Amino acid sequence: MRKIVFFALFFLLLSITVHAAEPASVSFAKLEELTKTPFATPILGGSIASGNGKIFFVTRNLKTRKLYWHIYSPDETKITAQGDCPFMDYSSYSVSENGSNALVYSKFPPHLWHLDINKCSWKKVYTNPPNEKAGLAMVIPITFFSFINDTEAMAILDNWNAKHAVTDSIIAKTTLSPFSIKPVNSLWKVKDKAVDVIMGGKKAQEGYKSELLKYGNNGELFFVVTNDRLPSQKGYVSYLFYHGNNTPVLLTKSNDKLIPLDFNQTQKLYTEMSLRGGKTFIASTGKGNVIMDKPALAGKLLSQDKIGLYVKEGNQFNLYVGNTGAWKKLASFAKPYPVAFLQNKPMVLVLKDSSLSYYKY
């Protein structure tokens, strides 16, 4: 998978403690200063270009209420592009691998917009189906568009019938030029196939649901099916699947929580989380092998056989890069910050309370 996102982790928030060398960082206050946007609202996040670490973010002028977009380059330590937005509010946005394109989902009415960052040019590219029309809908996208390169992105959308009732959840691929959204996979059908594998051909019982989904560049799926209503089991049951072709493959099952982290065609990275702690595994088929006796909350398969992990150890949240038996701790925190592992640079980004930090390895 080449998509990059901030991994949102929700735990009790504590004060920060860093035990590693202070990384390169830029404060939100400095970013606001660099934008030269007067009366701007505070920056509350951003989308990271997976290839070079550029950050795309939006500010609002509190006097005029206008929105402005900006691109910050950590290599040049400056704003390299910016402009105004053709809408007054938004719910989600995403920037491409090398920071040349962005997609934004606006509100009231809901539209999908494409920004050509090099040309500073906006284009409205998609609107939900009108009344009495069926089609793919972005009421609130289940998973917003994530770029897999500079011109293509993936998302999970609802499929509407003519009465605008949801008939399926669809993994769709978007191409920017010429613009198109094409269905790749049906989540409902894949879940039903996974339940058939679990039941071994027997009649399916109620209570199965799919969750914690990761998806790849061509609609591949790495996901969990759970059931907490099986009479033959005590409590929670979690099944980990990989779906690459037509039939989902069951990798393992557990009475503990299984969390898919990342995958490619040959390797699957996941965590088994329990009340006692947990472990992090890597597998090609089956359950695989333990690579760390601690539960990773986020992880990424990197280049040159390296793996990036964000691990909970006691009350600490530690950032590691390496592989089995040769882990390098980059930083340690006392609260769970969102992190992003870059695909093409030896760097990890951490979104702190008031700054964005870049850890090199």
10-41 per-position pLDDT tens digit: 222 222 233 344 578 888 888 878 887 766 66
Judged against a pLDDT cut of 50, whether residue 279 lies above it is answered with: yes
In a domain, 5, yes or no: no
Q: What distances in angstroms separate CA 77 from CA 73, 117, 184, one per listed residue?
A: 6, 18, 39
Report yes or no: 342 and 53 within 8 Å, Cβ to Cβ.
yes
In a domain, 13, yes or no: no
In a domain, 162, yes or no: yes
d(CA 154, CA 65): 31
The pLDDT assigned to 14 comes to 24
In a domain, 8, yes or no: no
The token duo for 19 is 């035990």
Q: Is the dihedral of CA 38, 44, 50, 53 positive or negative?
A: positive
In a domain, 7, yes or no: no
Q: Mean pLDDT score of the chain, rounded to an integer? A: 84
Mean pLDDT of 239-262: 91
Of 251, 223, 226, residue with least CA distance to 156? 223
Q: Is the dihedral of CA 245, 251, 253, 256 positive or negative?
A: negative
Judged against a pLDDT cut of 70, whether residue 131 lies above it is answered with: yes
Q: Is the dihedral of CA 29, 31, 34, 37 positive or negative?
A: negative
Judged against a pLDDT cut of 70, whether residue 42 lies above it is answered with: no
Of residues 246 and 116, more confidently modeled: 116
77-94 per-position pLDDT tens digit: 899 999 999 998 888 899
Of residues 122 and 6, more confidently modeled: 122
Model-level pTM? 0.83
In a domain, 15, yes or no: no
**Percentage of the residues of the chain whose pLDDT score is greater than 90:** 39
In a domain, 206, yes or no: yes
Judged against a pLDDT cut of 90, whether residue 287 lies above it is answered with: yes
Judged against a pLDDT cut of 90, whether residue 299 lies above it is answered with: yes
Give the number of domains in the chain: 1
d(CA 182, CA 218): 11
Judged against a pLDDT cut of 90, whether residue 261 lies above it is answered with: yes
The pLDDT assigned to 143 comes to 66
The pLDDT confidence band at residue 7, using thresholds 50, 70 and 90, is very low
The pLDDT assigned to 25 comes to 86
Q: What distances in angstroms separate CA 46 from CA 56, 69, 263, 343, 351, one per listed residue?
A: 6, 10, 24, 17, 9
In a domain, 6, yes or no: no
The pLDDT assigned to 39 comes to 61
CATH number at residue 355: 2.130.10
Domain coverage including residue 327? 24-360
Mean pLDDT of 316-341: 91
